[in-house]
Every structure is written in C-alpha cells, then in structure tokens.
Amino acid sequence: MKKNMDSFAIYPLVVLEGQRTTVTVVSKMSCDGTESGIDYWGKQRSGGPFTTKKQYSVKVTPREIHYPETKAQKEIGYTVENGSLVFEYTFYGEQEYMVFIDEVVEGVNTRLTFFKLYSVKEDLYRLLPWKGELHMHSNWSDGKQPPEIMYSYARRAGMEFATLTDHYSLQPHPTILEKMSAIDSGLIIYPGEEVHKLGHKMHIVSIGASKCISRMLMDDYDNIKEEALKIAEKHTDLPEDVDPLEFGMQRWVFEQIKKLGGLSVLAHPYWPHEGNATYIPASLSRLIIEEGYSDAWEITGVDDGDKDFMQNVLYTEECEKGFRMPVVGATDAHDKSGLGDGYTIVFAEDANISSVTAAIKNHLSVGCRQYKRADGSMRYMAFGPTRLVRYAMFLMSEFYPLQDRLCFIEGELMNQVFSGQQWAAPLIGEVARHIRQEKRLCFGR
C-alpha cells in the first residue's frame, strides 16, 4: 500500500472477519482515458480514474490461512462507480489479505495497484488502534525543548496521544495545559511524570496519577523511607542482589500510583547505567513482573538496540513461566530525535486516558519499534501478545505511513503557533478533522 498511497486510496483497510464487505478503491490520478490518456505510439495509457470504458481484473489472496472459500488468486467481480472501483468480498480468518488490481487491454494485464487489507474478529474490530508516546522529557527536567514543543514534535511523529514524564514535576503544568487547550489539535495529552529520587535506583513512569509522587518523596522522605523498610521486612525471600530499601521504595511508588488513579510503568529496566550495568538488577525486574507490582513493562525504549532486545528476552522468559504483564513502547526522548522510532499501539474504543489505561491493563497494547535501513526501507517490530503483534505489524506497514504524513503537517503547524506564528492556528483544527475522517474511513466507521 505504501508504494501506491500517492495514486490510490483504499477504504476500508481493516474489515470484520466473516462478513461480506464492500471495498472501494479510489484513483487519485487525473488521466481520464481520452486524448490525454494516449501515449506516443497512439496506445491507451493505463491508469486514470476507473471507468466503465476499461476492463479490470481484481484478485484476492489470503496471506496465511487458505479457507475453501478463499482460494488463492481468486478473481472476483467489481463495479465502477463515480471513478472508483468497488467490489464485495467476505474475508475469512483473522489475517492479512493481498488484493491485486490489473487493467486489461487486449487480453494483456497491466498491474495498477497492489494493496493489503486485514480482517479481525468482532472483539478486536469494535476497538480502534491508538498510537502514542508514553515517556518523553522537556526542559522542565533534563530535556532540551519546552513542553509544548515536545508535544508538537510528538504529533509530527504520528502520535495520537502523548505523555510528558519529566522528573520531579507533574506535566502538563497548568500554564502548559492552557497553551495546549488554545489550539484545536488532534493530539490528546495525559498527565505524567517519571518518578525518581536522587540516591535511589528508581525510574517508574506514572501516567494519570492525580499528584506528583516525586514531590511527595522529596517533601516527606524520612517517613516514606520507614514505610519502605517495613514493606521490605514483610518480604522475607528477596533475591540476594536486591537491596531491601530499593525494593521497598519501588513497592511504595507502585502502590501510590495505584491509589492516585494512575497507570504505572517500569521504565527501561535494561537501561545501562553505571559501567554498563543495568540500573536495577534483573532479579528485581523479574520480581516486579512475577508479583504484579507494575501495571506495564516498557519493552522498547529505542536509545539502545541491545537494551530493547534484552527487555524482550526477559519478558518472553517470564511469559514462558506463566507470568503475564502488559507491555508498552516509548522512546524516552529528550528532544525531537528518536520520536516516532518507538511507541505504543493501544486497542481501545477511544484515545481518552481512561480508555487507554484500561486497555493497557487488559493486555490490549503492544510495544513498537521502527527504524530506517541503509537502503531507505523501513523495518518494523512489535512486541506483546501474538494476536495483537500480527495486527500491529500490518498497521505499522500499511496504515500508519498514511496517517503519519498528515500528523506531520499538523505537528509542524503546532510548532509554528508555539513559535509565535498565529497564521497557522486555524489550520491545525482543519488538519486534525481530516485525520479523524480518514481514520474512520480506513476502519469502516
């Protein structure tokens, strides 16, 4: 689909499994098959709007499971309506389908376009995918850009929701929220922080909590330390390399996030800190997973490929033992570099924080990573429940390249407004509305 996005649009991209679906292929080419469609040798050029004056071939092939009703390369009927090609098909099984459309001239087939669709079962079809950044920093802590600029960069990178997780402050601050509320952006922002206390090896992302937990640690440290030690005393079988105080402090933080209505994420557990050693021992990470302290596991973080790989290895090992933990992806970005290379895809009814955090807790999320190869092509990876990973890989390849380039425009307009260029303000809402409409069409809404 990516290779054809400038010439064709396909609606919908995601269909309900087992139900007959109407698929519309829209040509964006202006050539209409009249004199402008005749080449140098007097022959008709292929392409242009679909027309009843031409003959086409439509074939559909399931990628994985070939049911009796879906024989490979089965040619199906079509109609041409208002310059678009329309066909009906029943997509069986939860899988990717390939659709080939040729123009037939004097018995010779010329490939017009090849694209992919994905069929999902009812429980997943009624949810929509939402792409977001759950861990990034501004210059209110150790980042390099103001919060509003980081939000605009996140939108530029294709995010539909974003959380600033500065150290020692809960974002968005009311002054930042006022700036964001003044524009009609499609980006939804969540409250967040990265809970950290100097002297402790603790980096826990808090999303949606009603208070700044880092500030609580600073203001009442001595009493909290006593509570943490009491928590650790109750756990009599800690691994030898786990400091009881560090364990107790992390347990206290996880409990506070829960009490304050937030989602907790164990951040970059394989972050190489001192002498390339992980900032917390792997045995503590395993304990957090196995006893279910954290709501989610940050399985991708982008700044180090080996780190991401090892986080996935540890997660897989724990799954094999029967322990399951929801996963998310992020970048831990401190400026625009890296934004968009890692993210979370959440399957929820909408992108409001209550829906997204509930979906993550219910294992309806995947952690994603992408990067550009030396030849310019994109490499996509997703981690999490197998069913969702297969679906997410399709979305990363076939849907998000379409949406991302529109989000880039909106994010750049946001950047202009925050830099004092008010001419861009009215355009933000127009682009955001177009993005929402395109998404509804792609998912058959």
Q: Is the pLDDT of residue 295 over 70?
A: yes
Average confidence (pLDDT) over 214-218? 94
pLDDT band, very low/low/confident/very high, at 95 (cuts 50, 70, 90): very high
Q: Is the pLDDT of residue 33 over 50?
A: no
Q: What is the dihedral of CA 273, 274, 277, 281, to 10 degrees?
A: -80
Residues of the chain with CATH 3.20.20.140: 128-442
Q: pLDDT tens digits, residue range 177-197?
A: 999 999 999 999 999 999 988
Instruction: Tokens for 159, please give them.
Output: 């995010």
Looking at residue 34, its pLDDT comes to 47
Helices (H), 182-270: 213-219, 221-234, 244-259
Looking at residue 35, its pLDDT comes to 42
Question: Across the chain, how many H-helices and E-strands are there?
Answer: 12, 20
Average confidence (pLDDT) over 395-400? 96
Share of the chain above pLDDT 70, in %: 92
Collapse the DSSP code of 268 into the 3-class scheme (helix H, G, I; strand E, B; otherwise coil) and give the result: coil
Higher pLDDT, 371 or 409: 409
Looking at residue 1, its pLDDT comes to 43
Just give the CATH number of 2-122: 2.60.40.1930
CA separation for the pair 283, 270 (Å, rounded): 11
Rounded to two decimals, the pTM is 0.93
Average pLDDT across the chain, whole number: 90
pLDDT band, very low/low/confident/very high, at 312 (cuts 50, 70, 90): confident
Q: pLDDT tens digits, residue range 324-378?
A: 889 999 999 999 988 999 999 999 999 999 999 999 999 999 999 998 888 888 8
Please, are residues 381 and 370 in contact by the beta-carbon 8 Å criterion?
yes
Q: pLDDT tens digits, residue range 125-152?
A: 999 999 999 999 999 999 999 999 999 9
Average confidence (pLDDT) over 187-216? 94
Residues of the chain with CATH 2.60.40.1930: 2-122
Looking at residue 48, its pLDDT comes to 75
Average confidence (pLDDT) over 235-251? 92
Superfamily of segment(s) 128-442:
Metal-dependent hydrolases (3.20.20.140)
Residue 48 falls in which region: left (phi positive, over 0), alpha (psi -120 to 50) or beta: left
